[in-house]
Structure 1
């Protein structure tokens, strides 16, 4: 058997004498022999173990863990690898975040003074004190890199800070739209809801398709998207909202009704078209919207609902006619004063 002294092992492997002695002290790589002068002597199987140590070390494993892996028959390799996968993924994410930040600084800055100012602003946006974060977004909305503002918005716990960061993002204008739309793909519904809120604040017609795509999302996200469509307005927003009448949970329905009610005369014709829906819930919601719009063009359609088979629809139509007012609406209300049940009672209360 060929024995190798520590110097030869160091020469062949590139490791230092100190490293090999350290492995020996730890019991990780104990030489199989000793010379008469008490020099360490390494056998071929020692070199095989050293190779295994180096391979495992290249995976990021610590020396203690490597020792257990080589000496403990019950050592679970899959769990160890899973731990190291998570650690490496975390390091990669951190490095990617750093790289993204460097790119943003490079694009936004022309001098070291500007770089330092941008770093200081970013640090203030992430300060533990909510008031500091609030002031940072408020005082320098367009100086703050858009990507930093979006990152802050994703994790901001304070409603007041979220609102001023939203305002700061809106100040970046059309360039922010694509970045905000991309944020709607986030797995967290709270983040999707917040980004839908930003799109509503932008009031850009280009945001309508993205908001429409959220109407089938979880209720809190769908409701915020409906609210945003009401803020943006326009024919496409009206069409999407009228299509939602009678749909979804009560919170979403209420938001759709409120959003349409705030769109004024532009929504009247589309909502009138929903009075003939096969869904009683949609007919009632449409009637409620028309009452909020208070447009006299709605009176004939609402009067037709006073003969609806569903009492809730009749009652909602009566309330809408009362909100609109005028002679024609009053005549429609009077026509059902003699009806039985709640319909007649409401008509008698509303009749002039």
Structure 2
């Protein structure tokens, strides 16, 4: 058998004799042999174990963990490796954040070190433990605040006021902030809600793909905020997404989509087409949205809906007519005051009383 002295092992592995003696004292790597003078002798098996130790160390494991992994036949490496994987992920994320910050500072560095120092100071204020300091930093430093720092406020800040200030600050930076805020899509419900909110503030059609995904979010509050923001963005594509949301099984999402459609004049044609939707729920929401629009061209659609088979659709159309302008809507309400249904006649009479004289 070939034996190696401690100095030879150190030379072959790059480890110091002191390290090898430490391993011996811990029981991690006990040499299999000794000379007559009590010098350590290492066998081929000892070298194989040392190689395993070095491999496990490269994964970030501590010496005690390595010893348990090598000596305990029942040892389950899965949980241990998972813990270390999370540590590595956190370290990578921190390094990536540092890299992004350095890239951001490059722009300021082209102007001068005064701007670099101001950017660093502003970044520190955005991370300050006092929420009032963070709030003021977002409001007063929006022009030069690092986008990543503002996004982090949206992702994790416990203060609603700070998150709202960060939203406003990002909106001032315009579409340039779109890529940075998109990272919030992988966050928790608060982060996704903040994403939907800021996308509405940006008011750019480039936000529509992300809002389309958020509109189907599992959390109703997130999906409802996406519907609200689609109403802020507007346009034909936003209208079609909102029409589809009228079929959502969640009341909050449907109601927000209805309100958003009622704020978009360009939704009239699509709402008119959806008035014949097979689902009564959708027809009722369409009638409500048409009432919000209060457009004269919606009146014939609402009058037709008064004959709907579904009572909720008929009642929604009745209420919507109360907001509609023109003599046609008034005549329809006057006719309904004679309805054999007492609730319908009473509501029609109240709506007529509330209408301005014309």
Measure, in 1, the Cα distance between the counterparts of 2:270 and 2:2: 92
- 1:12 and 1:98 mapped to 2: Cα distance? 37
Residues 100-135 of structure 1 deviation map (CA, whole Å, 9 limit, x = unaligned): 322222344334443333222222212222111111
Unaligned runs of 5+ in 2: 354-358
Question: Alignment partner of 2:174: what SS?
Answer: coil
Go from structure 1 to structure 2 and tell me whether the alpha carbon gap of 1:318 and 1:39 turns closer, same or farther (over 3 Å shift): closer
Matched, 1:75 2:90: no
Deviation at 1:330, TM superposition (A): 2.2
How do residues 273-288 of structure 1 correspond to structure 2 at under 5 angstroms? 273-288=273-288
Distance of aligned partners of 1:123 and 1:295 in 2 relative to their CA distance in 1, 3 Å threshold:
same
Equivalent residue number for residue 63 of structure 1: 63
Cα root mean square deviation, aligned: 2.6
In structure 1, the gaps of 5 or more residues are: none
The CA deviation string for residues 17-49 of structure 1, in whole angstroms up to 9 with x for no partner, is 222222222232333444444433444444343
Q: In the superposition, relative to structure 1, how do residues 344 and 309 fare at CA in structure 2: closer, same or farther (>3 Å)? A: farther
Q: Residues 254 and 9 of structure 1: is their aligned pair in 2 closer, same or farther, counting only changes over 3 Å? A: closer
Sort the Cα spacing of 1:19 and 1:159 in 2 relative to 1 into closer, same or farther, 3 A. Answer: same
Q: Higher mean Cα deviation, 46-55 or 168-177? A: 46-55
Aligned residue pairs, count: 350
1:231 aligns with 2:232: yes
Mean alpha-carbon deviation: is it higher for 269-278 or for 142-151?
A: 269-278
Deviation at 1:351, TM superposition (A): 4.5
CA contact (8 A) 2:125 2:134 kept: yes
Go from structure 1 to structure 2 and tell me whether the alpha carbon gap of 1:38 and 1:159 turns closer, same or farther (over 3 Å shift): same
Contact 1:338–1:344, Cα closer than 8 Å, also in 2: yes
Change in CA separation of 1:17 and 1:227 when aligned onto 2, cut-off 3 Å: same
TM-score by length of 2: 0.86
Query: C-alpha displacement at 1:62, in angstroms?
Result: 1.8
Are residue 204 (structure 1) and residue 209 (structure 2) matched?
no
Please say if 1:191 is aligned against 2:191: yes
Contact 1:261 1:289 in 2 (8 A): yes
- The Cα shift of 1:255 comes to 0.9
- What is residue 257 of structure 1 aligned with on the other side? 258
Could you tell me whether the CA contact under 8 Å between 1:247 and 1:282 is conserved in 2? Answer: no
1:317 equivalenced with 2:317 (yes/no): yes
Q: 1:149 maps to which residue?
A: 150
* 1-structure distance, mates of 2:288, 2:92: 54
